[in-house]
Amino acid sequence: MNKENDILKWFEGEISTEKMEQKYPDEDFSTLKKAGFYAKQIETPKIDAEKALEQFKTRSFHKKETKVVSLNTQLFLKIAAILVLIFGVSYFFFFSNTEVYRTEIAQTETLFLPDNSEVVLNAQSKLNYNKKEWQNNRTLKLNGEAFFKVTKGNKFTVLTNSGSIQVLGTQFNVKERERYFEVQCYEGSVSVTYQQNKTILLPGKSFRVLNGKVVSAKDFNNENPSWLAQETTFENVPLWQVINELEIQYNIKIEAKTVDVTKMFTGSFTHTNQNIALQSVTIPLKLSYKIQGDKVEFYDYETK
Amino acid sequence: MKKPKHKLCEESYFNSFYLKHIQAVSNFAFYKCGNNAASLDLVQDAFAKIWENCAKIDFEKAKTYLFTTVNNLFLNTIRHQKVVMSYAKESPYIDKTNLNPEYIMEEEEFKQKLLTTIADLSEEQREVFLLNRIEGKKYREIAELLGISQKTVEKRMSLALKFLRNKIDKVNI
């Protein structure tokens, strides 16, 4: 394709017409020669540049003002403040090291702490601890009732509104309800601090506070708290506390205006059948009950 | 020579840019579409695009941008228009001394055939051919202007020449 290249060069003015004719004497270049020559004569529209510019300026433009938009400092600060707030709040919400567990009425939950200690939360209870600090400081806060099986290790502390419990590695139950605080030791030994007084509990022993007063409780010999087996057991406990517990387990409201709620009750009720539970509480106390929706009324059938 | 980026947005710079390139770019548009009024419209549209986007265009690259824009606008809008070209008045014949009427008639006939053949070229071939012929541009310069490789320009030129030669010769016979 040398000829083609030469023709190209010829049109670019690198090779003269004479040279082309010499090099390819048999070729007739007259058509190309003429075409090249006359194509040069084609007229191009002459533009009056100034006039065209003038005409151009009369156009309307859709200029995108991206460049001119100045940073609105106030708006920027507002947005920045909002962002900081959002990130700050979400940090506390999503990155906080506090683990919180909560149970509602008639609900229990079993959970494991980072050291594999087991906690069973009874109904309507709340437990929280700092996940990050757990390695150095086994401390948690409890509202309500829970049973602990603590893995041996450092001091393990349970803080409640009524008092604190310290152990090294045992099984124990903590119950902290309204006007009621009870710690029961099932294994090892448990140290309970109540109003700066320390009490050491051995297996089978309980520490009970009723209405802000420490009261003695009988020894027990079961291995686990009865509520783990869907049953709540009381030993010489006032009726109002039993009613509290019934309300928590069955999501009912109990009215006992006509009844002496300071009567002591010993016994248990099941968590699985409301009628049986109500009967097992009322019958020993010579009481009866009426169910109206989720309200239950206790009354003394002898006085009626 | 480092120029600040947004000079194009200054009206005085834009005006001088406009005046400097309007003729060349309108010629270019004319080679593409072969229509006087349409090519000016095209060019004005292209300048408008540059003015509207002045902040985004590097001053150094504005010329290439201008030609590319014309090219794109052409592809988008007026590809279908009829190519209408003519020769400058009083253009000489190839043999200036030959005043034989028969010769003049033959040459006029040739010139007309050439125009129709150029009109039949593809727009890509025509623009290369005319940029070379009328503007006397080297293939390298054309390549730079269009933002394509020199090889492509040579290929288009070659095809254009082959097409012209075949068509004109065929009509001759």
- A42/B87 touch (CB, cutoff 8 Å), yes or no: yes
A288 occurs within a structural domain: yes
d(CA A240, CA B22): 99
Residue that the structure tokens 């239950």 belong to: A296
Using a CB-CB cut-off of 8 Å, the residues of chain A touching B6 are 67
* Selected residue of A5, A29, A37, A70 to mutate for chain B interface (largest B Cβ count, 10 A): A37
Residue A283 falls inside a structural domain:
yes
For the cut 80, the answer to whether the pLDDT of residue A272 exceeds it is: yes
- Strands (DSSP E) contained in chain B are none
CATH number at residue B159: 1.10.10.10
The answer to whether residue A11 neighbours chain B at the CB level (below 8 Å) is yes
Q: Quick one: pLDDT at residue B152?
A: 93
B29-42: buried (b, 16+ CB within 10 Å) or exposed (e) per residue? bbbbbbbbebbbbb
- Please check whether residue A39 touches B, CB under 8 A: yes
Q: Do B113 and B150 fall into the same domain?
A: yes
ipTM of the shown complex: 0.75
Question: Does residue A106 sit in the same domain as residue A213?
Answer: yes
CB contact (8 A) between residue A49 and residue B18 = yes
pLDDT of residue B2: 44
Phi, psi angle pair for A151, to nearest 5°: -70, 140
Domain that holds residue B12: 5-76
Q: What is the pLDDT of residue A223?
A: 78
B46 vs chain A: nearest CA distance in angstroms?
Answer: 11
Mutate: best of A17, A38, A55, partner B, most B CBs <10 A: A38
**B88 occurs within a structural domain:** no
Instruction: Determine, yes or no, domain membership for A35.
Output: yes
Do both B67 and B117 map to the same domain?
A: no
Would you say residue A66 has pLDDT above 70? no
Same domain membership, residue A134 and residue A190? yes
Residue A110, C-beta contacts closer than 8 angstroms, at least 6 positions apart: A118, A119, A120, A121
How many CB atoms are closer than 10 A to CB B57? Answer: 21
Residue B31 domain-assigned (yes or no): yes
Which residues share a beta bridge with A99?
A: A129
Please tell me which of the candidates A7, A43, A63 has its beta carbon nearest to residue B52. Answer: A63
Give which of A248, A276, A253 is closest to A145, Cα–Cα: A248
Decide if pLDDT at A204 tops 90: no
Which positions ≥6 away from A198 have C-beta within 8 Å? A191, A192
| CA–CA–CA angle A293, A295, A296 (5° rounding) | 115
Contact: B129, A31; criterion CB under 8 Å: no
Question: What is the reported pLDDT for B80?
Answer: 59
Q: Above pLDDT 90, what percent of chain A?
A: 2
Q: Do A12 and B44 touch (CB under 8 A)?
A: no
Task: Answer whether B139 sits within 8 Å of A8, measured CB to CB.
Answer: yes
Please indicate, yes or no, whether residues A280 and A290 belong to a single structural domain of this protein. yes
Domain assignment present for B83: no
- Calpha distance A261→A281 (Å, rounded): 12
Query: Is residue A139 located within the same domain as residue A202?
Result: yes
Q: How many domains does chain A have?
A: 3
Asked if residue A74 belongs to a domain, the reply is no
CATH number at residue B71: 1.10.1740
Whole-angstrom Cα distance, residue A117 to residue A80?
A: 44
Any B CB within 8 A of A53 CB = yes
- Is A37 in Cβ contact with B130 (below 8 Å)? no
Residues of B in contact with A37 (CB under 8 A): 94
- For residues A247 and A299, state if they share a domain: yes
Average pLDDT over chain A, rounded to an integer? 83
Let me know whether A158 and A143 are in one domain.
yes
Residues A183 and A148 in one domain: yes
> pTM surpassing 0.80?
no
> DSSP 3-state assignment of B82?
coil
Q: What is the mean pLDDT of residues A122-141?
A: 84
Residues B11 and B66 in one domain: yes
Interval A164-173 mean pLDDT: 84
Say if residue B53 is in the same domain as residue B108: no
Q: Which residues contact A105 (CB under 8 A, 6 or more apart)?
A: A123, A124, A247, A248, A249, A250, A251
What does the pLDDT average to over A117-135? 85
Q: What is the 3-state secondary structure (H, E, C) of A50-88?
A: HHHHHHHHCCCCCCCCCCCCCCCHHHHHHHHHHHHHHHH
The count of CB pairs under 8 A between chains A and B is 119
Assigned domain for A90 exists: no
Q: Which residues span the domain enclosing A202?
A: 98-228
In a domain, B27, yes or no: yes
Within-domain flag for A91? no
CA nearest to A107, candidates A270, A230, A252, A291: A230
B157 closest CB neighbour out of A8, A45, A59: A8
> Is residue A59 situated within a structural domain?
no
CA max distance for chain A: 142
pLDDT less than 70: residues of chain B: 1-6, 78-82, 171-173
| Enclosing H/E stretch for B47 | helix B36-52
pLDDT of residue A70: 61
- Chain A residues within an 8 Å CB radius of B39: 45
Tell whether A174 and A269 lie within a shared domain. no
CA–CA gap between residue A176 and residue A146 (Å, rounded): 9
Domains contained in chain B, number:
2
A215 and A300 housed in the same domain: no
Spatial neighbors of A41 by CB under 8 A, at least 6 apart, are B87, B88, B91, B92, B111
- Asked if residue A63 is part of any domain, the answer here is no
Indicate which CATH number applies to the domain containing A254: 3.55.50.30
